[in-house]
């Protein structure tokens, strides 16, 4: 049995790319035969609109399609992952993120790992009746997907956290000035930050850490980014701008540690609700990182039971 993770080229600024490559690495570390493989025809069109505007995103899509058909797209892996080459056997498990439609590798055993709500990027849902559907965490909305497939009761939350980078050189509160913000999946929301706030969308982790270290508050228009919590451990107050008509309990369950240290909306920020639990965030993140291998092992056990494949051949 091999695990073949379909993933974009590694990009330190893409949360989806990071966790897909990290997942492959974790599977290898618990003794599984795991690989990554590219899906070069995928182009992150919505993200490119956010970063570059509609016209440049369209031109980028055309160039990408041309390279995919007539040229060569450079593929980067990470974490010493092996790149899959060869044929897929009947006992192999192929893991697709939710952006991949149909079953391009023609695998018998398919897992759909929902890193986001399944129709967010493409507007379409593509899941086979025999697939195993695994949400990334409790925030992923699976209510829209209907069919004979199996939805796992065990979310697979794999994280890669450069915690030391964000905790280093913390400034005192009286040394902090200004604000920073991130848009990503919050495109279209009205801005509430000051005009001189620093946008971090295209920055590397090391660049973001330096901004967090100096800023008083971080505004996130994307309600589900890890940066909201990394800001907290950097000593920066963290504020999520809610999606329209999405109450706090729908954003995060009442007992979720994901609420800690983050204000959901301006009212909570003004009341200082985020400050009451900010000291819990670093321990929450360390626990999540330690859980990577436990969650991978639980995932392997569920896959074996679902598809009836041998653990080792």
Q: How far apart are CA 204 and CA 228, in angstroms?
A: 15
Q: How far apart are CA 117 and CA 126, in angstroms?
A: 12
pLDDT, position 40: 47
Question: Residue 64: pLDDT band by 50, 70, 90 thresholds?
Answer: low
The answer to whether 131 touches 149, Cβ cutoff 8 Å, is yes
Averaged pLDDT for residues 265-280 = 96
State yes or no: pLDDT of 225 exceeds 80: yes
> Over the stretch 130-154, which tens digit does the pLDDT of each residue have?
999 999 988 888 877 778 899 999 9
Closest CA to 152 of 138, 162, 166: 138
What is the pTM for the complete model shown?
0.74
> Over the stretch 69-111, which tens digit does the pLDDT of each residue have?
555 556 778 888 999 988 999 999 999 998 888 888 899 999 9
Q: Where are the domains of the chain?
A: 2-40+75-157+291-307, 163-285
Share of the chain above pLDDT 90, in %: 58
State yes or no: pLDDT of 41 exceeds 60: no
pLDDT, position 86: 87
Least confident of 91-100, 116-125, 175-184, 295-304: 116-125
């Amino acid at each position: 049995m091999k695990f073949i993770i379909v993933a974009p080229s590694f990009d330190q600024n893409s949360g989806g790319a990071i966790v897909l490559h990290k997942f492959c690495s974790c599977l290898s570390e618990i003794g599984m035969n795991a690989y990554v493989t590219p899906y070069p025809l995928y182009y992150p069109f919505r993200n490119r609109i956010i970063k570059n505007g509609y016209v440049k995103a369209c031109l980028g899509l055309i160039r990408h399609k041309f390279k995919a058909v007539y040229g060569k797209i450079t593929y980067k892996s990470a974490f010493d992952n092996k790149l899959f080459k060869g044929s897929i056997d009947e006992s192999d498990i192929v893991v697709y993120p939710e952006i991949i439609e149909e079953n391009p590798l023609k695998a018998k055993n398919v897992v759909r790992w929902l890193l986001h709500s399944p129709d967010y990027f493409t507007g379409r849902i593509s899941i086979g009746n025999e697939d195993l559907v695994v949400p990334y965490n409790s925030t992923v909305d699976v209510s829209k997907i209907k069919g004979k497939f199996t939805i796992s009761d065990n979310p697979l939350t794999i994280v890669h956290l450069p915690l030391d980078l964000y905790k280093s050189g913390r400034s005192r509160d009286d040394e902090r000035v200004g604000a920073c913000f991130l848009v990503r999946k919050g495109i279209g929301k009205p801005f509430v930050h000051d005009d001189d706030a620093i946008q971090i969308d295209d920055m590397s982790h090391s660049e973001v850490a330096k901004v967090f270290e100096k800023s008083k508050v971080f505004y996130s228009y994307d309600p589900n980014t890890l940066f909201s919590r990394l800001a907290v451990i950097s000593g920066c107050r963290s504020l999520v701008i809610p999606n329209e008509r999405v109450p706090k309990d729908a954003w995060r369950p009442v007992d979720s540690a994901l609420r800690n240290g983050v204000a959901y909306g301006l009212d909570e920020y003004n009341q200082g609700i985020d400050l009451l639990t900010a000291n819990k965030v670093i321990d929450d993140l360390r626990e999540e990182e330690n859980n990577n291998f436990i969650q991978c092992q639980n995932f392997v056990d569920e896959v074996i039971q679902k598809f009836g494949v041998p653990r080792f051949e």
